[in-house]
Structure 1
Amino acid sequence: MVLVTNGRLITRDSEGKGYYEHGAVAYEGAKIVEVGEEAALRAKYADAEIIDAKGGVIMPAFINAHTHIYSALARGLSIVGNNPTNFYEVLDGTWWAIDRHLMMDGTRASATALYMDSIKQGVTTVFDHHASYGEIPGTLFTISEESRRLGLRSCLCYEVSDRDGEEKCLQAIKENADFITYCQKQNDPMLAAMFGGHALFTISDKTFDRMVEANNGRTGYHIHVSEGMNDVYDSLQNYGRRPVQRLQDHGILGEKTILGHCIHVNT
């Protein structure tokens, strides 16, 4: 038994007591046994190992519902000659330039950096939307190794896109499908998979059909939607529909799907 003490406890319990000025948490293994007043729990679990919160806040960890491991090492990066004036130029000149050169060792290093930073900030669950078009096969498995090693819970996917050609697109689809199969077989509560897609202006209807076929209803999708107006304009010009309607028509939407950003959507 372990007892976390000397902290202000936020339980987020809407039906019980949500806050203890002098709170404590008793846990054993991966299970929280009891929360409450520190004095009462110290008396009840007198032989427990003590972790001193040093007057800090004890609370449930944060969940990062949308992030990009591939960008973890890009903080402060300045690319010579890259002076973007719109969202597309930001993607093409910065993020796509980075992920086109990201190999397996870079992916692993990026995962380590992001997970370590997450732990420091109180994040223990990460929904990652990964792209490393320099090297695709096996990247989600590499990321999952770092997640397990550092003890976080992860839900991973690979960013399918037509932007680097059909071969890369098919590799990205396969990486999603293979990792979904792996997670289903592992049945690990600390690891899950979704089917990733970049943004609609880099995904054709043919590619959406391939994604849906490869997923075969096994999990939800994690995709960028209307982060910039170019996504909306492209969808209207080339498909006669707004982005969300395209997703609806392809069967992408549902309670298990995550739509990232959604800045330029209507009601």
Structure 2
Amino acid sequence: MLTPGSFFDLADSPCGDLFTGCAHVWEPLKKLKAYIDARTEPTFRHVCLTDGVPLDSPYVFFNGKLRNARECIITYGDTSRGGLSVWENGQILEGASVIMGGAVIVGRNIRIGRGVLIESGAMVKAPAIIGDYSEIRQGAYLRGYCLIGRRCVVGHTTEVKHSIFLDDAKAGHFAYIGDSILGANVNLGAGTKFANLRFLPGTIIVRTPQGAVDTGLKKLGAILGDRVQTGCNSVTSPGTLIGPDSFLMPNVTAPSGAHPRKSVIR
């Protein structure tokens, strides 16, 4: 089965409607641009930011407005557990998000949830959606059309492009995720890379026991079901689908095609 329901439990997902009506699990990627465009608007119109220039100080995003945080007291706890706290004039700003000085914002259509932390050195290109209590760490690069769920981590020198992170997905270190979907509670080991483009011209073909299926996509990285884990320095070939509760072992390249639930790819 190659349906979204075979890979993900979407009952509590805030982006579950993106998967509605999709016969194949990769089809949400075809709708992702329109989905994000319809749900983002200029966020930073209240302050003067220059595209591509690092912020000169930390900013707080609270009640729909971005403002300088020089006079705020910020405690940097575990972001995914609501540990980020912002105080101003003795009062806590419940659910405030923080963009640290040195972060780079390009474009204005970036939707930021509650309790989000964007660290120094991260670059976020619009459009993008970053869900509640997620963390964009130092050196991370969101290249546009990124849908990041709740309590997610985009880690140090991790690049994400035109991809979906469902809730609690984590790519903590040195990863590349392009044209891909990470299910809930997926964890990528350091150095995981998703190849998303064939050497030869043409669309990505997914091979299954029932036969080959043409995705119609020229670029398709990996789709990892809920709770999949990858080891350090693992690689997936274009069009790799890994079922829930599976393991991709360290230093292994997963071949293209559909791998069933509870696979151990060595």
TM-score range, shorter chain: under 0.3
Structure with bigger gyration radius: 1
Higher strand share: 2
Question: Under a length normalisation based on structure 2, what TM-score does the superposition of the two structures give?
Answer: 0.24
Question: Under a length normalisation based on structure 1, what TM-score does the superposition of the two structures give?
Answer: 0.24
